[in-house]
Amino acid sequence: MLLVLALPASGCGWLGVGTGDRDFTASLARRPDPPAAPAPPRDAKGARILGEASRVKGSRILVSIQDRWLWLLEGGDTLVSGPITVGKGQVFHFRGKTYRFETPRGRRRVVAKEPNPVWTVPDWHYYEKAVAARLQPVHLGPDDRVELSDGTTLEVRGEQVGRINHSGNWWPWTPGKEIIFDGKIFVPPMHSAQRRVPNALGAYKLDMGDGYLIHGTPDEATIGRAVSHGCIRMRDDDLARLYELAEVGTPVFIY
């Protein structure tokens, strides 16, 4: 049985080693000129979605996957316009499951807004790391203890995953840092602090439901590219204005 998962269950944040101020400065220099207007969609579905958006007279968000651009419109006025990152459009297979990392086209709406969001790392993040580095993923459960080859021990205590060193001291693992030992990547329990990573989603998020978010990124060099797992990333200044002006309930048209 093949299970196809098209939804990023816990949102699609960014987690990795920062590229530094050099890439950030370069990304600002590469900021593309805004499209004069949304480009005509290349297929009937896109045209239908854009046509539906044109009939909404109030506030609405338009997202062009083709242009990699987002607009917040109010009537005939453009309140926010900026480049975005969209889903990379790849399919990832792992242990009988298929994950589709794409930004879904269609009509959605802003169902919630949150400042200083925390990313709950989904399983597929660890599976991707496992495949890339040829590691065996091992899911940790409540109160699990794992003896490691270096003589230390991984131990789950309540909401924390930690490591007992050679002196017998237990220290919690840093959230967002992969736990890799002995050719294995250990997947923390979903409820654990090690699954909750601050700063990965930027300063704000707008939730469109089903795990799809509009959020920021610590790596603005990725803006304007198709590299996310389905979420929409924005630059900090554009996102701050969108967060301020787009109310919960605002329709979002992705085409």
Same domain? 74 vs 19 = yes
pTM: 0.83
Same domain? 236 vs 112 = yes
Same domain? 48 vs 85 = yes
Number of domains in the chain: 2
How far is it, in rounded angstroms, from Cα 220 to Cα 25? 9
Say if strands 153-157 and 170-172 run parallel, antiparallel, or are unpaired: unpaired
Tell me the residue type at 250. T
Split at pLDDT 50, 70, 90, the class of 32 is low
Instruction: Report helix, strand or coil for 207.
Output: strand
Same domain? 191 vs 211 = no
Mean pLDDT over residues 177-205, rounded?
97
Same domain? 223 vs 100 = yes
Same domain? 101 vs 208 = yes
Same domain? 19 vs 140 = no
- Please, what's the b/e burial string for 226-235 (b: 16 or more CB within 10 A of its CB; e: otherwise)? bbbbbbbbbb
pLDDT digits (tens, 9 = 90+) for 210-253: 999 999 999 999 999 999 999 999 999 999 999 999 999 999 99
Same domain? 244 vs 182 = no
Same domain? 22 vs 91 = yes
Last residue of a domain, one of 175, 196, 217: 196
How far is it, in rounded angstroms, from Cα 6 to Cα 220? 25
Structural domain boundaries enclosing 212 = 3-30+42-117+201-254
Widest distance between CA atoms in the chain: 68
Split at pLDDT 50, 70, 90, the class of 36 is low
Between residues 7 and 70, the one the model is more confident about:
70
**Residue 36 included in any domain:** no
CATH of the domain at 233: 2.40.440.10
Same domain? 145 vs 170 = yes
pLDDT digits (tens, 9 = 90+) for 116-164: 999 999 999 999 999 999 999 999 999 999 999 999 999 999 999 999 9
Same domain? 59 vs 157 = no
